[in-house]
Structure 1
Amino acid sequence: MLRRSALALAAGLLAMPGAAWAQDADDQNTDIRVVGHRDPEGLLPDQTVPNAVSAISGDFIVKQAPTLNAFQLVNLLPGANVSSSDPYGLSTSSSLTLRGLGQDEIGVLMEGAPQNDIGYYYAYPSQFADPENLKQIALAPGGVDIDAPTVVGAGGLLSLSLDDPRARAGALVDLSLGSYAARRAFVRVDSGTIGKTGLKAFLSYSNTRADNWRGAGYDTRQHVDAKLLNEWGDGNRASLALSFNDANSSSYPSPTLADWKAEGRNFNYNAQYTPGNTNYWRLYRAPFRNLYASAPVHLKLGDRLALDSTSYLQFGYGNSPYGTELATTGNYLGTEALGPIALPGAVDGVATVLGNYTGDQARAGNVTKLTYQAGAHRITAGLWFDRGTDRVTQSYTSIGADGEPIDRWGYRAKAIRTADGRLLAYENQRTVTITKAFFIADQIAVTPRFAVDVGFKGVDVLRNGRTYLPGPQGKVRRDGFAALPRAAVHYALDDRQQLFANITTNFRPPNEFTLYNSYYAGEVVTAGTDALKNEYSVSDEIGYRFIGPSFSASVTGFHYKFRNRQLATVVDSGGAQVSSTLNAGGQTSYGVDAEIDYRPAHGVSVYLSGEYLHARIDDDLPVGGDFLPTRGKRAVSSPTLQFGGGGTYDDGRLFGSIAGKYVGRQYATFINDESIKGYATLDLSIGVHLADWIDGKRTDLRINAINVTDPHVLSGVQAVSTNARDVVGRGGTIISGSAPAYYIGSGAAVMATVSRGF
């Protein structure tokens, strides 16, 4: 029997290019309704929504390397372009683009609560829930749901759903060891149903440590997830989900193309400290602590009326530090010249210090909607309110003689002060963001097979801020409203085939830092403004779905039209990597997404996905007093072709998988004078279910091989630029070039995991 299983596994791996997994029957969480061979991955869940949606289920997730973050887990899905700086997904240096749109354009929800940064719109996947606790990750690349509490969404919506607590008490333990001295422990305890209350809960804890795969340094992560759930009556449910993350992550340096050609993977921070060295690795470790809480409630108020409400609360503090030098004289605070300051360890009036870029955020909100069924009409109306506070400081902290920071967290109380006791800071501000929205939608069942959806959402974003730096600026304010209509149609050709089409509008307010002045040597180098326009986009989709007993497929054509396209980048400011935004004017994109899920036999699954993307800049870009000739150029970070493929085998004893992804060429400048080549990655896994050989309780042993071909490549664009080389503008002036920066694709890694249920 073992020999026969092994031969079947080998045949399955050789025959199929991809990845998917199965899990023992007690833990299956699938939305698939089939008669033939069950889909063990949940990659094409049975959908009736009038827009493109892809997903992965807990059955897929639980067979992956347990450190992978949510971005890495959706890498196989159509249009998902993931750039990871480390194989384990622990570093904050990573990115996700969908259909060429960056992660600050992608709304992210976990248990219905927003995860995007309130000021800059980024989401940080290494902070999300542990993979063992995820029931599903759904990816809708065309836009966000009308009730989604997010102000970005042109790039789509990434939704994470936590697993429900088990009805029976139990425990799960995962122990992992891997390359680069990686080790991880995970423990989850389920209470089961508590007496006659109907309540059930789970609590989990994980601890992870791994050396950097390139250069000196290491990452640590401690994480806690918890969920309390009560269900009663006919579909009523209320839950409280908590997720706490405490990490100290390495920031991998991002090379220019010249750096990459000269040093390759040796482009790293220094392993040893010497006096005056600002490139020492301990000066680039980012500590963060975050707490997320979400309380979704669903109540049936009658046969035709239902209430859904999600309240959420978030706290976070972290530092993105860097090494730099300060002089005891010649400093400024905003526009004010300062006298001499005391700098511990200064030599000839200059000291190496830790530059801090700290963010201290608090956020609370609620989204509530009522849904009423009135004959052929299903009417939804709701409100969303969100208030967030963001305290951003760029200060400086002394370091010891060994290069160790006195305070790696960058707390203001321990930072360097001026002679009269004020905080010495390059940036020092507090912003309150208040978001208010209303929405109404009607789904009309014209016939049993044909439905029309119409909706409208109005969103107002108010920012009130204050800078604490001396100068011409004090308080700042920006208030903007966006009107977002939408419409969609859905037609069921029969029980298995569907057609759909939609038109959706999205917007993106300017980042909060665009409101504030920036200073250098006492002068205003960039003037803050409240006059920047919202990015606005109109997207269209038309698609076809087939959901069969052993074969499922989806094909979606899409089109986007942008005004005031905003592109996030990173600029170097005195050694600090500071977020910035470029206005790329208009942009037009169109393309096709496709995916296939085929299950030829029990325990065997094949998944294929692909995307063609045509993304072009519509306008010449204003630079200084001239225009850069960018009209018709390809949009940055928008590969024309992407392909993914996966295949799995599981006979109840042995299981295995193979997963591959190809990403085409990506441009890094608006003028298209610099790009990175296409590349491919390959992941493998093999495992054995040991329950039947031991005591019948879940016991799995698996080995995950990540990026086994280990290509030496640049995997994505970390910081775009207008032009890499000097260019003659439309007006005849010379527009100086600046080099973009890139992510270095992660190296290969192997991780072994033992999973045991109790």
Structure 2
Amino acid sequence: MLRHQLLAGVALVGALGLPALPATAQTQPRAPDGAVQEDIVVYGKGETRQVQTLTAADISAAAPGTSALKVLEKLPSVSFQSANALGTNEWSTRIAVRGFTQNQLGFTLDNVPLGDMSYGNFNGLHISRAIASENIARSTLAQGTGSLDTASSSNLGGTLQFFSKAPEDVMGGDVEASYGSENAYRLFGRIETGDLGGGVKGYVSGSWLDSPKWKGQGKQQAWSINSKLVVPLDTRGSISAFVNYSDFKDDDYMDTSLALIKKYGWDWDYIRNDYPTALAIAKNLQSDLVNYTGYCAKYPGYSQTICADDTYYNGYGLRKDLLVGANLDYKFSDTVSIKLTPYFHRNRGIGTWWTPYTPTPGGAALSIRSTAYAINRGGATGGLTFHFGDHQIEVGGWFERNGYTLTREFFPLANSNVSSIDNRQWPENPFYIQYQYDMTITTGQYYVQDTWQVTPDFKVTAGFKGLDVKIVNKYDPVSQASAASRDTSGTLESKKMFLPQVGLNYSFSNAVEAFAGYAENMRAYTTEPFVTNQAGFQAIQGKIKPETSWTLEGGLRFHLPNFDGSLAGYHVKFSNRLLSVQPCAIVVGCASVLSNVGSVTTNGAELAGTYHLTHALSLYGSYAYTDAQYDDDVLSGQVWATKGKQVVSIPKHLANGEIAYDDGSIIARIAANYQSRRYYTYTNDASVPGRVLVDFALGYRFHDTGSALDGLEIQGNVTNVFDKKYVGTLGQNGFAFSDPGGTLQSMLVGAPRQAFITLRKKF
């Protein structure tokens, strides 16, 4: 708590005290050569909502390959969790903003929708697969609500927009090699064409990652190709096109619980190096399935008694993605312009688990249970902009058609001393198909907005959008489960054609401005309602409602000679919350179904500021208070007292502090991130404690014109410097109403201290 108070105090002093300095025109500190130092955080000057942007300078200071989501955790109200140091393990990666979790936020890359980026995403892909972090120019977070033209059907809360780098004007390239803990290494290279004539230019890059897990067996392997081409259209605009491909293979970390951590320690994981014991556990479990009591036994090589579900053999995920898109930006005249982004995305993915509950017929006591995904989606986003006097009117929309297939299969394993299917291998010839759903998802969104510059100092934005998402599901007869039990063929539609948004911005001077905004949003249904039995789907069809929210926010921004910062407060009402519950008394007995279970009220405040002591040295601090509470008790077998309880997995206090130095040659950063206690039960009877994590970076750039060293950079990164043991991700297998024994196996521990060394060369 003391450390939390200190960090919060730094942010508070920076955000509240420094604006008292004389109000003058904003000037950035300049390096000795006259170049303006690139800011770490840009505070959204002139915006009518809470907005901050991180630049490429901040991404490059992290260890190569670090997820762009992890880099964003320094911004106020952002809570990020992962089981690996780079934040790229998708099963464990979670981000939350202002009380909304990842699948309630919106994400885009160069205006292409990425869906909600959840694991096994049905309508997009994770940013770590969409583009290499070295090719990201900036990342913009709108904590409260995204702009009306953001292509998202999930953003009850904020949006994250990623933008790729533009090609260089001069032919050249970049190469990068990194080596770190657990013998991890990563290679990256980019070739710039330079100006090919008439302003046409482009680049092609490739990356390779081989990162063994920090505990247990297995690794993360990934390679990608990114390419971009820009073609000017006279002086009126340009077309930029990109083709990105990713091949991602990831051995997961095993889900754990507080009880398992207490029993086995922080390093307990899958036993992928011990197939015979995994078989023995499965055999013992199956002998006890009739009267399941959590069969426990002693196994050779283990000092403790191992119970069923204490460990499994393995689990991994495979993903292949092709993402193609183009951005047309064209000005017909001084008053009319257009932006258009057509795109196509194809994905094939699978998640696996060696299950002891389903033996292979005539084979091993284990089998592999898999969930396979296939996405084929195409669409376009865009809009027209008209300038009339003091008004800028925008009209546009988004259309997408997505063919999505979801399959649950079981694959055979031979009765041998080693697994007959290798990890990171796509299994073939299932002995049982539990279900296969073929869905057609059609999304349509429109928006209209007027930006009125009432006076030189006062701006008003007002508009609205409409969203219509229709999912048509067909139960594929290839499934071997009876149609009566798994056939959830049918249609669900999320439709709300008037979602208003209004914002204000007033500049008191060049140094201080105020902003305020109100917005309404809807989150369309996902595929979750269909993944149940027939009775469960029929019970909710036509009865559940899509989740909605409204957000009211306001604040101040400061742009002083050596200080930039913001102060904001907000109020959010989240309605029609969806949760799978048993909507009757336990003595009556009824199946669990997806239901609307009430609302959530969130109040919060955010402070952030950057102070430039010199052209090279800066201090950054942020603090966020998030009070997110359930408004209703919930009936699920019994009435659970959730009213007034804190929302699961959301820390009430978040704070960051960072010291950064960059004089063009020496680069150094030390950053601390604090998160307070998080609950993982709806009644708040179980939680994980808060933690402070410290990261460090130190590097040097060589400037020896004419020598081989010119353009060379060496950088070292250390994450979790003090080797803090802590629980990272919560809820990847859902949350519980109560967990007095700490047995809910739905959390992952964070990575210990990890170190990386990197060489970069620009030529």
Q: Choose which of 342, 352, 356 in structure 2 pairs with 1:321.
A: 352
Q: Deviations over 1:36-85 (max 9, x none)?
A: 34453331245211011112111121121002101111111111111110
Alignment of 1:533 onto 2:541: no
Alignment pair present for 1:240 and 2:241: yes
Instruction: Give, in angstroms, the shift of residue 246 of structure 1.
Output: 0.6
Alignment equivalent of 1:683, drawn from 695, 698, 702: 695
Q: Any conservation in 2 of the 1:358–1:393 contact (CA below 8 Å)?
A: yes
CA distance in 2 between counterparts of 1:618 and 1:680 reads 30
Q: Which one of the candidate residues 499, 504, 517 is aligned to 1:489?
A: 504
Q: How far, CA to CA, are the matches of 2:220 and 2:420 in structure 1?
A: 17
For residues 78 and 537 of structure 1, the distance between their equivalents in structure 2, rounded to whole angstroms, comes to: 20
Distance 1:616 1:17, change over 3 A: closer
Counting only pairs closer than 5 Å after superposition, residues 291-690 of structure 1 correspond to structure 2 as 291-325=322-356, 343=361, 345-346=363-364, 351-400=365-414, 401-404=416-419, 406=421, 414-417=428-431, 424-468=432-476, 469=479, 470-472=482-484, 473=487, 475-482=489-496, 483-518=498-533, 529-566=541-578, 583-624=596-637, 626-690=638-702
Q: Is the 8 A contact 1:141 1:156 kept in 2?
A: yes
Residues 722 and 737 in structure 1, CA contact (< 8 A), matched pair in contact too: no
Question: Which of 140, 150, 153 is equivalent to 2:142?
Answer: 140
Answering whether residue 738 of structure 2 is matched by residue 724 of structure 1, we say yes
Name the counterpart of 1:115: 114
8 Å CA contact retained: 1:646, 1:658? yes
Quick one: which amino acid aligns to residue 662 of structure 1? Y
Mapped contact 2:83–2:729 kept (Cα < 8 A): no
Counterpart amino acid of residue 244 in structure 2: S
Preserved contact between residue 723 and residue 737 of structure 1 (Cα < 8 Å): no
CA offset digits 1:163-206 (Å, max 9, x no partner): 1111111011101111101011111000111133x211110001
Question: 2:166 corresponds to which letter in structure 1?
Answer: D
Partner in structure 2 of residue 36 of structure 1: 29
Is 1:591–1:614's contact at 8 Å kept on the other side of the alignment? Answer: yes
CA distance in 1, matches of 2:465, 2:338: 18
Moved more, 691-700 or 708-717: 691-700
| Alignment partners' CA distance in 2, 1:250 and 1:587 | 36
Structure 2: which amino acid aligns with 1:102?
T
Q: SS of 1:74's equivalent? A: helix
Structure 1 contact 17–606 (Cα < 8 Å) conserved = no
Contact kept in structure 2, 1:396 and 1:410, CA below 8 Å: no
Q: Distance in 2 between matches of 1:598 and 1:152?
A: 35
Q: CA deviation at 1:399?
A: 2.9
Q: Distance in 2 between matches of 1:698 and 1:67?
A: 20
Shift of 1:621: 1.1
CA positional deviation for 1:407: 7.3
Q: In structure 1, what is the Cα distance between the partners aligned to 2:38 and 2:417?
A: 53
RMSD (Å) for aligned C-alpha atoms:
2.8
Letter in structure 2 aligned against 1:44: V
Contact 1:17 1:660 in 2 (8 A): no
**Letter of the aligned partner of 1:477 in structure 2?**
T
1:443-463 residue CA offsets vs partner (Å, 9 max, x unmatched)? 112111111111110111111
Counterpart check, 1:71 vs 2:84: no
Query: Residue type matched to 1:138 in 2?
Result: T
Task: State TM-score, norm by structure 2.
Answer: 0.85
Distance in 2 between residues matched to 1:716 and 1:108, nearest whole Å? 20
Hey, what does 1:289 align to over in structure 2? 320
Q: Distance in 2 between matches of 1:585 and 1:121?
A: 26
Report Cα offsets for 1:235-267 as digits up to 9, x if no partner: 512111222111111211121221122223132
| Distance in 1 of aligned mates of 2:716 and 2:246 | 26
Of 524-533 and 309-318, the range deviating more from structure 2: 524-533
Identity across the alignment (%): 24
- Give the distance between the partners of 1:238 and 1:45, measured in 2 at CA: 28
CA distance in 2, matches of 1:122, 1:742: 24
User: Which position in structure 2 is the counterpart of 1:220?
Assistant: 221
Matched, 1:706 2:719: yes
Q: Unaligned 5+ residue runs, structure 1? A: 1-15, 19-31, 329-341, 418-423, 570-578, 727-735
Partners in 1 of 2:96 and 2:220 — Cα distance?
A: 25
Q: Which one is further off, 122-131 or 278-287?
A: 278-287
Retained in 1: the 8 A contact 2:167–2:229? yes
Q: 1:409 to 1:700 in 2, by over 3 A?
A: closer
Letter in 1 for 2:490: V
State the Cα deviation string for residues 459-506 of structure 1 (Å, max 9, x = none). 111110111243233521112311311111111111221111000111
Looking at structure 2, the residues matched to 697 and 743 of structure 1 have their Cα atoms a distance apart, in angstroms, of: 43
Within 2, Cα distance between the matches of 1:697 and 1:709?
Answer: 35
In the aligned structure 2, how far is the partner of 1:52 from the partner of 1:432?
35
TM-score by length of 1: 0.85
Inter-partner Cα distance in structure 2 for 1:744 and 1:566 = 27
> What is the identity, as a one-letter code, of the residue corresponding to 2:67?
N
Tell me by how many angstroms 1:357 deviates.
0.7
Amino acid at match of 1:391: T
1:567–1:100 Cα change, 3 Å: farther
* Distance in 2 separating the partners of 1:518 and 1:362: 26
Q: How big is each residue's C-alpha offset from its partner over 1:108-154, in whole Å with a ceiling of 9 and x where there is no partner?
A: 11111011259657853432311211110111111121011110112
Contact 2:488-2:532 within 8 A present in 1 as well: no
Could you list the per-position Cα deviations for residues 669-728 of structure 1 after superposition, in whole angstroms to 9, with x for gaps in the alignment? Answer: 1111111110010000111112328447311001011111111111231244242248xx
Letter in 2 for 1:595: A
Q: 1:211 — aligned with what?
A: 212
Corresponding residue SS for 1:72: helix
Report matched runs for 1:164-179 at 5 Å.
164-179=166-181
- Picking from 747, 750, 755, the partner of 1:745 is 750
Which has a greater percent of strand? 1
1:411–1:249 Cα change, 3 Å: closer
Instruction: Give, in angstroms, the shift of residue 411 of structure 1.
Output: 6.3
Are residues 203 and 480 of structure 1, via their aligned partners in 2, closer, same or farther at CA, if it must alter by over 3 Å? same
Instruction: Trace 1:265-280 onto structure 2 (pairs within 5 A).
Output: 265-270=266-271, 271-274=273-276, 275-276=279-280
Question: Contact 1:146–1:457 at 8 Å: present in 2 too?
Answer: yes
Is the Cα–Cα contact under 8 Å of residues 571 and 603 in structure 2 kept in the other structure?
A: yes
